[in-house]
Chains A and B, each alone.
Chain A
Amino acid sequence: MTEPTTTPDATPGATVTADVPLVRARGLVKRFPITRGVVLQRAIGHVHALAGVDFDIYAGKTLGVVGESGCGKSTAARIVARLLEPTEGTIEFEGRDITTLSRRQMVPLRRTVQVVFQDPYASLNPRQSVGQIIAAPLRVHGVEGDRRKKVQELMAQVGLNPEHFNRYPHEFSGGQRQRIGIARALALEPKLIICDEPVSALDVSIQAQVLNLLGDLQRERGLAYMFISHDLGVVRHVSHRISVMYLGSIVENADRDALYDNPRHPYTVALISAAPTGERGARTRRLLLAGDVPSPAAPPPGCTFHPRCPKARLVSGDPAEVPERCRTERPVLTDVGEGHQVACWYPIEKGDAEKMMEIQASEITLEGDPELGVAQTEGLTDAQPRPDDLVDGGTGL
């Protein structure tokens, strides 16, 4: 994608500061019942959308959340926005537990946490004018004063023509609609905006503009973002700190540069190697994952990543074997230094990436199994396996 011009400066020290985070999520679990039956609904199982997730969001900083489709990113976002009740776990806002607040008690807090949604078509009411949409938060919270003037100021700030407040959403393009959504989120001057894939529905050229707008707003207003995406390039661009999710768990938490320069979880390594680097001509060898993401209704025991984990196979020394510990014990997020946390029994060490590549290359040449090579990274169609990619030398990792 086009490289946007603004890049938030990474502040590695941010995570070790003693101040209270804006949001502190601990042990978030969300299970959705799978029901059967029309009259008497019986739960016949559960989707484990979140299986115990911890993260912190600091004022003025961006927490990026990456992971494949269905790994629970939106669920986590919706819980922080209090659109969804967690099954277990707590959310603290500025040190105050807000998990059990009623809707009415939440109303003042709503001013400080706002959401920008993924789909700029579905997230704006087609029957309301842009002015009504952006003024809605002001109306709900009884903000006095000249609302029309405020709406027009907001429109100007997000790069919309303030004269267009009487128009309806369908008269705008996707990028403009997302700006409307951003203006609505800004109306109450929040401290945190949760952006759930705010650009993935947009054209690549438009994506950069919207990301730049978000970056500018962060610098001007000291906003914090929880920024969700399955696109590593986008997350890298906007985040100070990144959480990598897999099947309802956070598998790695690190400051941005630490995560990209020194990924410690095998899944992160695979994700990074599957992402296009953006540097032209740089052939990246891809570490490709075997099989599909398991169903969150029946997550594998032990480490949920073990059926696909290349490092586990490296440890066992046998491509068909996984160490017992990976199969039976669930790894918890553990500090590996400088605020870098990883949930893995055998975190990646220097040189592991090359060895994993070799195992993979030998498997592919031996078995010629194309199935093995399908990268399960959504939206990256160019990550399809090509044998020369795997065997050729490259600069990746």
Chain B
Amino acid sequence: MLFIILLVVVAIFAPVLASLIGHGPNELFNRTMLDDFGLPLGPNSEFWFGADASGRDVLVRMIYGTRVSLAVGLLATLFAVGLGVALGLVAGYLGGIVDTVLSRIAEIILSLPILLFAIGIVTACGASKEGCARGAIKPGLMLVVLISAFFTWPWMFRIVRGVVLQLREREFVDAARAIGAGPTSIMFREILPNLISPIIVYASLMIPQAVLFEAYLSFLGLGVPDTTPSWGRMIADGSQIYDVAWWLMLFPGIILLLTVLAFNLLGDGLRDALDPKSDR
């Protein structure tokens, strides 16, 4: 939890931290930080985490990378949760053909090989600056967010739908119908408040998925452009010269691992804290 707060603070104050260190994220230090063969130098007192192949400060780039990772993680989860909750409520409460159609769609998306598809889309749309679909889809951060959200909303959908199926049999739903409340009012006023804990728990478990997803795509060179530092991108770049510059992969790798771990722990903790059995 503390770690997550720290990440958020770092992300928000990235420029401040960078100016404290005195290096910009895309500033080239090829005089000082590249050796005679053009290979980067490792950690020293000025460049704590060393420099990358272009002579840029790894620490500063990682600090900026926090922004990208968190932004992608939070935005993608936000979209996925919004879509999943809304559709899950509708499918679970209305049932019938609406439910059947939505559930099938969710199943199909869940059964797709996500990475393969994502690579396909990003390659198709990321090949040129114009993007694809007549420029409607452009490469970049937003594309990563949307793809990630598109492939993860069925997760939330399934959980919400399942809980709603149970809740709608409860007598308080009949009670609401008996006073004349309509389906929208019942879904959002009666049922939604009872979904808060599962939504929070699963949302916190979806964030690390999105963070990882961004890292995968960036690793494959399909995510954000090179001038936007991202952990996945840095790991990818580092992997090409890992035998001479171990620090390029190690530090972003550790931070990625810690972040994913922290969010998973948060999710587990929230699940225990919000367990419906204990909040009765």
Contacts and interface: CB of A to CB of B under 8 A. Distances in A.
A125 B194 contact: yes
A123 B172 contact: yes
Contacts of B194: 125-127
Interface stretch (A21-29, A133-141, A303-311, A327-335): A133-141
Interface of B is mostly: helix
Interface residues of B, number: 18
Given A123-B172, A140-B185, A128 B193 contact: yes
B172 A140 contact: no
B180 A117 contact: no
B113 interface: no
A140 B175 contact: no
Interface in B159-177: 170-172, 174-177
Given A125-B194, A127-B194, A140-B185, A83 B178 contact: yes
Contact of B179 (A78, A127, A136): A136
A117 B170 CA distance: 11
Interface string A54-80: 000000000000000000000000100
A188 B179 contact: yes
Interface string B103-147: 000000000000000000000000000000000000000000000
Interface residues of A, number: 28
B181 interface: yes
A128 to B, nearest CB: 7
Contacts of B178: 81, 83, 110, 114-115
B280 interface: yes
B190 interface: yes
B280 A170 contact: yes
Given A126-B194, A127-B193, A136 B171 contact: no
Nearest to A108: B180
A15 B46 CA distance: 98
Contact of A140 (B171, B174, B179, B280): B179
Interface of A: 78, 81, 83, 103, 106-107, 110-111, 114-115, 117-119, 122-128, 136-137, 140-141, 170, 181, 184, 188
Given A78-B174, A110-B180, A127-B193, 19 more contacts: A83-B174, A83-B177, A114-B178, A114-B179, A115-B175, A115-B178, A117-B171, A119-B171, A122-B172, A124-B172, A125-B172, A125-B190, A125-B193, A125-B194, A128-B193, A140-B179, A140-B181, A140-B185, A188-B179
